[in-house]
Amino acid sequence: MLDIRFIQENEELLRLTAERKRLPDPLDDLLQTDKERKRLLAEVERLRRERNRLSAQVPALLRAGERDEADRLKAEAKRIGNALAEAEPRLEKLDGRFRELMLLVPNVVSPDTPIGASDADNVEIRRVGSPPDFAFEPQDHVALGESLGLIDIARGVKTAGSRNYYLLGAGLHLHRAVQQLAVDRLAAKGFTVMDVPLLVREEALTGAGFFPGGREQTFELPADGKWLVGTSEASLVSYYAGEIVDVSRPIRLAAVSGCFRREIGSAGRDVRGLYRVHQFAKVEQVVLCRGEAEESERMLQDITRNAEELLGLLELPYRVVAVCTGDMGQKNYKQYDIETWMPSRQSYGETHSSSNLHDFQARRAGIRYRDEDGKLRYCHTLNNTAIASPRILIPLLENHQREDGSIYIPPALRPYMYGMEAIGPQR
């Protein structure tokens, strides 16, 4: 959410931002609603003052025996009360509409964000490592996982429908190993690691910036008034919602959690394997810092580097791209994606994302701090996917496959894999 004064002063910039982010432009409706709301608010306040002024005179008139004048003032106060009874609900409705429209205004983007229409226009920043050059015909992760008894998609579909799966034996261990490696690395870097609610109230998703635009992607439990999170970012941001925090040092939070996504609009896309599934797990980083562009930019580089270090430990080739306007979400000011090489796709596939939101998210969630002068200001917030599984299993299995059908286990994962150096064919 942006400040209404900023919106009024930067109308053309925000219209251009909505166009470049391929989002509806709510500004005409918002500004007109704000004008009507302010006009009606001034009228309501005038009527309240007049009613209170008249009502305050009645006791003195009655004491002075001027009953006729007192009755006249009471009648006038009643008339004003009736006018208020009509105006106040209209003002409440306009206030509600104003809040709804404010939630639709997109965040501005950083000056160095590429302009583009889709992920095809994202700009590569750096590339690390080289795709493997196999001396044999490589298999995709589904074939590998099934032959090694790691993945069972057919029974996942039988049990839960499309885009579901089972992970078995070493497949489960690998899934948990990458998560624990990420948790341990972040804890060593000073992150407070949490187990967080996965069922949250609507206001948690609205405050974190996922609603109203992301409702169609979110599983709802209407009988309970709750929603399943698609990322623990919502739960981590909500931890400090409505609070005044101390960000003399950045607050670093992390969570390991299950995540759920409906994948509306992805029919026919990535239907084979583990790339786009309804249920997955993530280790998420969230940072709250002072509302200073230089500091939040440093934090963005920091959390992105944390994810890159994990990919280095997993010995996977990847690239970092600057996400263009047309591929960004409503709430992001600046975004990087990390894409890891996936041999079966013969391309890099997104496995991580880093975002700087400036104060857009903190305004919605009501997270503030006191600056050096004691003035309350909104924090800047950032987030990053440290690891997401089972998607990360795709490059792990495919890049580390060997000619005999086994899978090489990088040394960093072996302590979490009971010392296994490889996952071998079942006998």
Alpha-carbon distance of 99 to 26, in angstroms, equals 12
> Which strands, in side-by-side order, build the sheet including 318-322?
123-128, 318-322, 334-342, 347-356, 380-389, 279-289, 251-260, 192-194
The one catalytic residue among 238, 350, 355, 363: 350
- Is 421 a known active-site residue? no
Q: Which of 154, 176, 137 is nearest to 405 (CA)?
A: 137
Question: Hey, what are 208's tokens?
Answer: 């974190």
Q: Is 345 a residue of the active site?
A: no
Burial label for 426, CB within 10 Å (0-12, 13-18, 19+), is: exposed
CA distance 300 to 294: 10
What are the φ and ψ backbone dihedral angles of 343, each rounded to 5 degrees?
-55, -35
Helix axes 67-102, 27-63, angle to 10 degrees: 160
Q: Please choose, from the candidates 158, 109, 159, 175, the residue with its C-alpha nearest in 3D space to the C-alpha of residue 387.
A: 175
Catalytic residue among 48, 97, 201, 276: 276
Torsion of CA 325, 326, 328, 334, to 10 degrees: -10
**What are 165's two structure tokens?**
């799966």
* 353 in active site: yes
- Catalytic-residue membership of 350: yes
Catalytic residue, chosen from 163, 290, 364, 391, is 391
Instruction: Give dist(CA 161, CA 164) in Å, integer.
Output: 6
In 9-154, which ranges are E strands?
Answer: 123-128, 151-152
Element (H, E) at 78: helix 67-102
DSSP code string of 196-216: --SEE-HHHHHHTT-TTTTGG
Residue ranges of E strands in 30-156: 123-128, 151-152
User: Which of the residues 261, 290, 363, 364 is marked catalytic?
Assistant: 261
- Report the run of H or E that residue 43 belongs to, with start and end: helix 27-63
List all residues 6 or more positions away from 247 whose beta carbon is below 8 Å from its beta carbon: 288, 289, 290, 369, 379
> Is there a contact between 316 and 399 (Cβ–Cβ < 8 Å)?
yes
Concerning whether 233 is annotated as a catalytic residue, the answer is no
Alpha-carbon distance of 19 to 368, in angstroms, equals 30
Annotated catalytic sites, by residue? 261, 276, 350, 353, 391
